[in-house]
Structure 1
Amino acid sequence: MNLDRAVLAFAGFVVLASLALGYFVNPLWFLLTAFAGVNMIQAAFTGFCPAALVFRKLGIPSGHAFR
């Protein structure tokens, strides 16, 4: 798995987890969904993603989007 796929998988997990938590636990968890969406939009324009920095330090090889 390269860095791009790891970031996409993590973003998908965060969105699904926050939707489940918002539905079953507390609606304030939907703010995490909004945060994930805003972070994905800014990463598309700037190329900066905090999750990519963490995954890179964990040794996941680079992809094409996040170098």
Structure 2
Amino acid sequence: MNLDRAVLALAGTITLVSALLAALVSPWWLLLTAFVGLNLLQSSVTGFCPAAAVFRRLGLSSGCAFR
């Protein structure tokens, strides 16, 4: 697994868990979904993603999106 796939897998997992928690617990969990979406948007503009930095330190190889 490379860095790009790890970031996308993390974002997708957090989004799905947040939607599930919003349906079962409280609609306030949708704020977590909004946070993930905003982070993906800003990383597409700036090229900086905090999750990518963490995964890079864990030793994942770079893909084409996050260098």
Instruction: Please give the range of the TM-score, normalised by the shorter of the 2 chains.
Output: over 0.9
Shift of 1:40: 0.5
TM-score (norm 1): 0.96
Once superposed, what is the RMSD of the aligned Cα atoms?
0.6
**Which residue of the partner structure matches residue 11 of structure 2?**
11
Length, aligned pairs only? 67
Alpha-carbon distance in structure 2 between the residues aligned to 1:2 and 1:25: 34
Counterpart in 2 of 1:47? 47
- 3-state SS of 1:48 partner: coil
5+ residue gaps, structure 1: none
Which residue type is aligned with residue 64 of structure 1? C
Which structure 2 segments of 5+ residues have no match?
none
When the two structures are superposed, what TM-score results if normalisation uses the length of structure 2?
0.96
- Aligned position for 2:62: 62
The residue type equivalent to 2:11 in the other structure is A
User: After the TM superposition, which segments of 4 or more aligned residues of structure 1 sit over 3 Å from their partners?
Assistant: none
Letter in 2 for 1:40: L
Deviation at 1:26, TM superposition (A): 1.2
